[in-house]
Amino acid sequence: MRDENLDWEIYHVLVDGSIRTASGLAECGYDSAAVEASLRRLERALLIERRGDEVRTLSFRESLLLCQLKNDDTSPFCLDDGIIRAKTDEERKGT
């Protein structure tokens, strides 16, 4: 199966809500290594959030906000280990 197809399938399983863990996905017949790779891609794409084995899909607003925080150097805020905080003076200056 192509990576994109697996990602799409796993994302929709997570959206359905019947499975909320990486291990739960593996128990449903998905290869553990493929699940891990897919979850990494989905997380990089800002579609899911992981906390340990727990996985949850992000809302559109959450995804949009995270994308902005990640890519907008002019934003006065940043994302620090899952916490939105004001940038320090040094961070705003780019040092």
Query: Are 68 and 36 members of one domain?
Result: no
Q: Are 42 and 35 in contact (CB under 8 A)?
A: no
Reduced to 3 states (helix: H, G, I; strand: E, B; else coil), residue 45 is coil
Residues facing 48 on adjacent strands? 57
Q: Range of 85's domain?
A: 62-93
Query: Are 53 and 12 members of one domain?
Result: yes
At 95, the pLDDT band (50, 70, 90 cuts) reads: low
- The answer to whether residue 86 scores a pLDDT higher than 60 is yes
Query: Are 68 and 86 members of one domain?
Result: yes
Count of structural domains, the chain? 2
Query: Are 37 and 18 members of one domain?
Result: yes
- pLDDT tens digits for 1-58? 799 999 999 999 999 988 999 999 989 888 999 999 999 999 999 999 999 999 999 9
- The answer to whether residue 93 scores a pLDDT higher than 80 is no
- The answer to whether residue 60 scores a pLDDT higher than 80 is yes
CA-based torsion, 22, 25, 31, 35: positive or negative: negative
CATH number at residue 39: 1.10.10
Query: Are 15 and 43 members of one domain?
Result: yes
